[in-house]
Chain A
Amino acid sequence: MSESNTEAAIVLDKVNKWYGAMHVLRDVSMTVKQKEKVVVCGPSGSGKSTMIRCINRLEVHQEGRIVVDGTELTDDLRALDTIRREVGMVFQSFNLFPHLTILENCTLAPIWVRKMPKDEAESLAMDFLRRVKIPEQAKKYPGQLSGGQQQRVAIARALCMKPKIMLFDEPTSALDPEMIKEVLDTMIGLAEDGMTMVCVTHEMGFARQVADRVVFMDQGEIVESGKPSEMFENPQTDRLKLFLSQILRGH
C-alpha cells in the first residue's frame, strides 16, 4: 500500500457498476481523507445510494478499485469483515431490529463481532444513547419510538461498533419535518468530534454547516465537487444549476 492510502480513509478509483444492462456507476473516482466530511447530492436515480453502498460492499462493484481504511475491497471475506467493522452505516429506513430492545440493538454487534463482554457493551451503548439523547428509551422496542428517535438509535447502534467511518444514506428523508432537526443535530455533533463521514442528503443547510466537500452526482457519474459555499453559490455545470434550482423550488 502506498503512503496516500494510509492517509486516505476511502479511495474510489474508476469504479464502474452495472445492473444488468444499466450502467449505474461510471468511472466514479473520489478520495475521502481522514476526518473529512463529504456530502453527496444529486437527482433521484443518479447512483448516490449505489455508490455509498459499494463502500461497505452491500453492493458489489464490477470494475475499478475501492480501498477503505487501507484495505482493498475484493472477494476476500476477511477483508470484508475488517471493513464492515470499521465502517458504520445509517439507512433511510432506520432498519432497527424490531424484535430486540433499543439496548439489545446497540449491544448485539459489539458483543458478537467485537467480542466485547456484555456489561462493557451495555455501558458503552448507554453512553452513546445518552449522546443521542435517548437513554431513557433503552428498554423499549423500536416500534414504540418516533421516527426521529429510531434514527438516532440507528446512529447510536452504528457508533457502538466504534467505526472509523460513518456512511449515511438519506438519514432524514423518511422523517417528518419536526424530527429532521434532532437527527441533523446528532450528526453535526458527530462531525464536530472528528468522525470521517460520507453522507447522502439533500439538506443543504447541513451541507453548508459541516461538509468539507460536496459531491454532485448525475446519471452515475460525479459531475462536480468542491466546497459547499462555492458549489451552491457558483455552480459550474448546467446540470448542477438545474438540480439546485429544483431543490430550492422544493423548499
Chain B
Amino acid sequence: MSTTIVASSSVPTREQPSALAIGPLAWMRVNLFNSWISSAVTLLLLYFGVKWIISFVDWAFLHAVWSVPETAPGKLDPTACRDAKGFGACWAVIGDKYRFILFGRYPFDEQWRAAICIVLFIGLYVVSAMRRFWRAELVLIWIGVLTAIGVLMWGGVFGLLYVPQDEWGGLPITLIIATFGLALSFPLAIFVALGRRSTELPAVKLLCVVYVELIRGVPLIAWLFMASAMFPLFMPVGFNPDKLLRVQVAVVLFAGAYLAEIVRAGLQTLPKGQYEAADALGLSYWHKTLFIILPQALRLVIPPLVNTFIGFFKDTSLVLIVGIFDLLTAGKVALAEPIWQGYSTEVYVVLAAIYFVFCWSMARYSRGLETEFNKSRRR
C-alpha cells in the first residue's frame, strides 16, 4: 500500500464567497427572496403588515381624540369621542381615568404615596438587576425598601393618613403581589427542590413531593378562592389575616411549586462529577450547594425560570376574581363609568402596554444575563 498525496502545496486562503457575506441585503436575499414563492409570501406579509401599521397609526394618533372639554367642574363632554368612534382612539378616557387605573380607590390626595411606591419598586428591580450590587447587603436593601413601601401604603405613622388595605389598588397591588410572590417563592422553591432530591431525609423528601403535587394539581384560581373564601372558615374566630395577605400566601405557594420543579430540573442536569468533586474536597453539604451546585444549576435554567416569572407576573391579574383591586381590576372598574362605557379598547391597550413593559424588561434582562454567564462557560 502506498500513501496518496492529496495536496502537494497547502490550499491558499481566499475571501469568503459573497453569497455567504453578512449584511442586510445579502441576508434578505438568502432568507426572504430565495425563490419566487418566498418572494410572494414576503411581499404579501409586508403588504398586510404595512397596512395594519398605517391603520393603527391612523387610529391611535392621527384621528385620536386626546382630550374632551369640561362642561361643568368635574363633568366631561364626551361628544368628540363619540364622533370619532370606529376610526379614532379616545385617549381622553385615559387622561380622565389614569389615576384611578394606576392607584385604584387609594384616597385621591394620598396617591403621591402610592406613586412613590411604584418608583421604589422599579428602583429595587433596577438595583437588584445589576451584578455590581449582588452582595449580602442587597438583602438589607430589599428589607429596607419593602418596609418603606409598607409604611407609605399604610401610613398611620409620621403624620401620614392611615389607609386600610382594602382601599389599595391598581399598579402598586400588582407589583406587591408579584414582587413578594416571586421574591418569597424563589427561595422556597430552592429548598423544596433540594428537599425533593434529598436521599438522607426521606420525610423531608415526601413532604416536598406532596407539596409540589398537591399545589400543582389544583388551578391557581381555585387556590385563590380557597384563600379568600374558605380559609377564614378554618381559622379560629378573631384571627383573620387580611385578604391580600391570604391571597399573597396562595400566590407564593403556587409559584413555589412550579419554580421548584424548574430548579429540580437544573439540579438533575448537573453532572454527577460536580457533586463528587465537591464531596472529595471535603465541602460541607451547604457549602457544596451554595457555591458549586446552585450557581450552576440555576444558570442552566434561566430561560424556564424567567418564563415562569413572566407567567406569574401576568397571572397576578387573576386576583381580580376574588375582588382584589389590582391593575386589571382598576382598569375594568374605570370603564364602568357611564360616559366611558364603550372605550375598553383604549384602556386595555394601555394596560397591555404596562404589563408588556415589565415582562419585556424581564425577558431582555434574562437574555443579557445568559450571554454574560455563557462567556465563562465558552469552550
Contacts and interface: CB of A to CB of B under 8 A. Distances in A.
Interface of A: 56, 58, 81, 84-85, 87-89, 91, 93, 95-100, 108-109, 112-113, 141, 143-144, 157-158, 161
B291 A108 contact: yes
15 contacts: A56-B279, A58-B279, A84-B280, A84-B282, A85-B282, A89-B280, A95-B271, A95-B273, A98-B376, A99-B296, A108-B292, A109-B281, A113-B287, A143-B378, A161-B281
Nearest to B293: A97
B280 A88 contact: yes
Interface in B5-20: none
A97 B292 CA distance: 7
B283 interface: yes
Interface string B299-310: 100000000000
A95 B281 CA distance: 11
A111 to B, nearest CB: 10
A141 B377 contact: yes
A88 B277 CA distance: 10
Nearest to A141: B376
Interface SS, B side: helix
B379 interface: yes
Contacts of B38: none
A129 to B, nearest CB: 16
Interface pairs A-B: 4 shortest CB-CB:
A84-B282, A95-B277, A109-B281, A95-B273
B166 interface: no
Contacts of B373: 99
B295 interface: yes
Residue from B273, B276, B280 with most neighbouring chain A CB atoms (10 Å)? B280
Given A93-B273, A109-B283, A113-B283, 9 more contacts: A58-B276, A58-B280, A96-B277, A98-B296, A99-B296, A99-B377, A144-B378, A144-B379, A158-B281
Interface string B339-379: 00000000000000000000000000000000001001111
A161 B378 CA distance: 28
Interface of B: 271, 273-274, 276-284, 287, 291-292, 295-296, 299, 373, 376-379
Contact of A84 (B274, B281, B299): B281
A9 to B, nearest CB: 17
A87 B281 CA distance: 8
Nearest to A108: B291
A91 B296 CA distance: 19
A112 B378 contact: no
B276 A91 contact: yes
Nearest to B375: A141
A89 B280 CA distance: 6
Contacts of A89: 277, 280
A100 B276 CA distance: 16
B280 A56 contact: yes
B377 to A, nearest CB: 5
Contact of A95 (B276, B283, B295): B276
